Amino acid sequence: MRYLLPVALLLVFGCQDPASRAFSDFLATQPDTRFDVLIRGGTVIDGSGAPGSNLDVLIEGDQLVFVGKVDTGKIVSTRMVDASGKVVCPGFVDVHAHGNVTRDAPFRNFLAMGVTSISLGQDGSSPDYEDIADWYADAASSRPAVNIIPFVGHGTLRTLSGEGLVTDLSPQALDKMNRLLEDALQKGCFGMSTGLEYIPGTFAGAEELALLAKTVGKYDGMIMSHVRNEDDDALNASIAELLAQGQHCKVHVAHLKSVYGKGTARAEELLSLLDQANTPYPVSADVYPYTASYTGIGILFPEWAKAPNDYEAVKVQKRTELLDFLRSKVIARNGPGATLLGTEPYTGKTLEQLSEEQNRPFEEVLLDIGPTGASGAYFVMDETLMKRLIQDPRVMVSSDGSPTMNHPRGYGSFTKIIESYVLGEGLLSLEAAIHKMSGLPAATLGIRDRGKIAAGMKADVLVFDPAALRTKADFPAPHQYSEGMDLVLVNGQPALEKGIFSETRSGIMLTKNNPQ
């Protein structure tokens, strides 16, 4: 009989399971029971890497306010999204992307992949504002469809110093660079990008880079670097140069790759360099899932044929030497068939095809194009090596792409990860892949209010069936949107729904020191 009283009391007063109690406790803190969006019945993969759970998500304004089991009889939602049989996860964060906020504001290529935040100002090049506040103002007036994570470019700072194309900057130029960098960091930039393989970054030495790294570290920022040389025989030294800057701030290897390097063993060697960095700050990297890079054709030319040297004069005075260099360089990079031009009037043709069309050696074609005359894709990477890199827990996913670049990575990188490497090959679990595309990049960059599905985070949210994702872009037709995202929310507003892009653009420029 002593057990009957508790049972009777339970029947009289009722009993709540922990999930119901959590929702009741949440409602008790709310001034109203009306909410903007309820996403119901989906498998929430929260971006942390943890297994998914069947949970509901409540959104009010631009914020996630509750994640758990929702008693729909106790609330009113302006909109209910049935996510049964679907995944609900954070919007993806592209840690290394390209684009112009004023020209490319719709950024539909990113939205179609589920990317809700992109990092711009990469490879040492950002908009050439002396006052970074002007970039923020232009972004606000352009109303980007995705959130922008700004980096200030080292090459841009060098140009603004007035002495960009020299090896040794004057103390006055260095001081101006440092002041501009500090101002940008104070106003919310997430760090500085370097493009040491490009002009003018290639002129920078250790002393200059260390000085700027100390300023980046002062504001808990990051140096994100296109390292000095990605060729396999120079890559170790290039990473070591970046790690030296890692004594002063967080450092990140942009689009980690090895040109000519092959195999899992070489990937392990590169990862061991990061393991053994011995820096007081974290070291990280990103990878895009393609075996062709994309950059200006100048990468094939010798330094003595590029600015500040007069190319037209070099072409006349050193023609034979330059032709020999170009021939050797292209052959070393898998031959003229492995260079696919992406700039008019050469778009979609390889150097080999141009050579055949013009009935002359490919190096003569290249000589006439010149180091600033085109950009292209270069099929110089090994897929086995790339796949091993992408599995490493500190390596996240990027696109290194843009709306206009003639390379499928800007339209397919994130969906390809799930379609090919999660569902196709089982290289990654879905939870691990989503972590690499949301929670990991957000945490690495220092974005405190995005990258996870949790109460208090901003409402950048995806709803999709992983099996329905399709990467449509390829090299012959690189500007095809990915398919399969049921719903993409940016700051709580629909940006893409069942293949239809919204005309309302709700992205913002993010600020590191004061998350919005």
- SS3 at position 113: coil
User: Residue 364 CA to chain centroid, in angstroms?
Assistant: 36
All CATH 3.20.20.140 domain ranges of the chain, comma separated, are 92-291+382-446
Q: Over the chain, what is the mean pLDDT?
A: 94
d(CA 136, CA 188): 9
d(CA 106, CA 304): 40
- SS3 at position 79: strand
Q: Which amino acid is at 455?
A: A
> Rounded to 5 degrees, what angle do the CA atoms 384, 385, 388 make?
90
71 confidence band (pLDDT: 50, 70, 90): very high
Res 3: pLDDT:
38
The model's pLDDT over 200-228, given as tens digits with 9 standing for 90+, comes to 999 999 999 999 999 999 999 999 999 99
Res 513: pLDDT:
73
Give me the residue label for tokens 């929260």. Answer: 46
In the CATH hierarchy, which top-level class contains the domain 92-291+382-446?
Answer: alpha beta
Question: Would you say 193 and 185 are in contact if contact means Cβ atoms under 8 Å apart?
Answer: no
d(CA 236, CA 223): 18
d(CA 381, CA 255): 12
Q: Which amino acid is at 104?
A: D
Q: DSSP letter string over 138-155?
A: HHHHH--SSEEEE-EEHH
d(CA 440, CA 49): 9
The model's pLDDT over 93-133, given as tens digits with 9 standing for 90+, comes to 999 999 999 999 999 999 999 999 999 999 999 999 999 99
> Rounded to 5 degrees, what angle do the CA atoms 289, 378, 237 make?
80
Question: Would you say 117 and 447 are in contact if contact means Cβ atoms under 8 Å apart?
Answer: yes
User: What value does the CA radius of gyration of the chain take, rounded to a whole number of Å?
Assistant: 25
Count of C-beta atoms within a 10 Å radius of residue 418: 25
- SS3 at position 228: coil
